[in-house]
Amino acid sequence: MNVQNLNSIDPFADEGDPLGGNQDVGSTQNYLHIRIQQRNGRKTLTTLQGLPKEYDPKKLLKAFKKEFACNGNLVDDEEMGQVIQLQGDQRVKIANFLVEEGIPRNTIKLHGF
pLDDT (tens digit per residue) in 23-43: 544 444 688 999 999 999 999
pLDDT for position 17: 57
Q: Is the dihedral of CA 89, 93, 94, 95 positive or negative?
A: positive
What confidence tier does 52 reach under pLDDT thresholds 50, 70, 90? confident
Q: Where are the alpha helices (DSSP H) in 2-109?
A: 57-68, 91-100
Q: What percent of the chain has pLDDT over 90?
A: 58
Residue 32 has a CB neighbour count (10 Å cut-off) of 20
Find the mean pLDDT for residues 107-113. 88
Ramachandran area for residue 44 (φ above 0: left; ψ -120 to 50: alpha; else beta) = beta
pLDDT for position 3: 60
> What is the Cα–Cα distance from 65 to 69, expressed in whole angstroms?
5
pTM: 0.71
